[in-house]
Amino acid sequence: MVFKPVPPVPMTAEPSLGDAYITTSVDAFLNWGRRNSLWPFPFGTACCAIEFMGVVSSVFDLSRFGSELVRFSPRQADLLIVAGTVTYKQAPILRRIYEQMPEPKWVISAGACATSGGFYDCYCTVPGIDEIIPVDIYIAGCPPRPEAFIEAIVQLQAKIDKESRKEASQVGA
């Protein structure tokens, strides 16, 4: 087989930016950085936490969304993922972990147990973590599939995109 010769690409000096410039807003710039570098703190108490382990493993690869840097210190995390059953005995611990996380911070409630107490209709189980801390995204399922975790991250990114520093300062955040 004979290949046609490819004409050489003319080498020119890299053009300067000239009059070109980029504009954006502080909100858009900060949100872009925050949405793509969420550092999760997993509060895993039961089987849903196993699903989260699958999400950060190589098959589902949460690093594609910039959220693979799992931290086990709340002071280094901005995304609290509650995965599993939460009892009233654990509730003060969960609340303290949330309060130790710096602003801005977000919460994902993963699975039926964290969201509603699941099938544990008993005196010791919290019927939903939103009785203790604010929740941004809920994930349905028992257990939720890893794809559902990824969907929650994508939904949270979309929510962060719409956040405004002006509104945050008005509520004192």
Q: Which residues bind ligand SF4 (CB under 6 A)?
A: 46-48, 84-85, 111-113, 118, 142-143
Q: What angle do CA 49, 75, 130 make, to 5 degrees?
A: 50
Which one, of 82, 95, 93, 86, lies nearest residue 51 by Cα?
Answer: 82
Shortest Å distance, C-beta 98 to ligand SF4: 19
Shortest Å distance, C-beta 127 to ligand SF4: 13
Q: Which is nearer to ligand SF4, 31 or 115 (CB)?
A: 115
The residue type of 39 is W
Q: Which is nearer to ligand SF4, 84 or 146 (CB)?
A: 84
Rounded CA separation 129/165 (Å):
26
Shortest Å distance, C-beta 148 to ligand SF4: 11
**How far, rounded to the nearest angstrom, does the alpha carbon of residue 45 sit from its chain's CA centroid?**
18
Q: Which is nearer to ligand SF4, 51 or 78 (CB)?
A: 51
3-state DSSP call for residue 116? helix
Rounded CA separation 156/166 (Å):
19
Q: Which is nearer to ligand SF4, 41 or 138 (CB)?
A: 138
Shortest Å distance, C-beta 36 to ligand SF4: 28
Q: Which is nearer to ligand SF4, 46 or 70 (CB)?
A: 46
Q: What strands lie across the sheet with 40-44, from one edge to the other?
A: 40-44, 79-83, 106-110, 137-139
Going 150 to 155 to 157 to 158, the CA torsion angle's sign is: positive
Shortest Å distance, C-beta 150 to ligand SF4: 17
